[in-house]
Structure 1
Amino acid sequence: MNARRDIRHRVLKVGTIEFGGGAIDCTIRNLSPSGAALQVENQTGIPDQFTLVMPAEGLHMPCHVAWRRAYRLGVAFD
């Protein structure tokens, strides 16, 4: 059973995970109005809550981590 509220669309966008004065680059792999899947080089230091910045769209989305796997994490927008 799929627990997602919205259908996610495959994308390949540049993003930044921003938190407490720190920032980590990421790739947004899929996206919906309620969340996204992110790919990172390393999850070390990424907190459970942060702001996902999408510079091309001029968006700053507060979010929280829903799941973590190897180099990917799923987030839900707050």
Structure 2
Amino acid sequence: MQTLFNDLTISSIAAAHGKTSAQIILRWHLQAGNISIPGSSNPDHIQENCEIFDFELSADEMAQLTAIDKNERFADY
């Protein structure tokens, strides 16, 4: 997952919105109609995961993020 957090496209979109890479990834999933179940025991990360409803990704940003698809699964288990 760190690979995605450090991706230049994701990082630049995150900076443009004043959000973290994790928030951009979660927002992309939400707008794309995917089901994403983030998990964390860190209270700061839990709060951060909830703060994805106060912005929207543009159609161009959605296309850029979709283009990152490497046909791989990213998971920490």
Greater share of residues in strand: 1
TM-score (norm 2): 0.27
TM-score by length of 1: 0.27
**More helix by proportion, 1 or 2?**
2
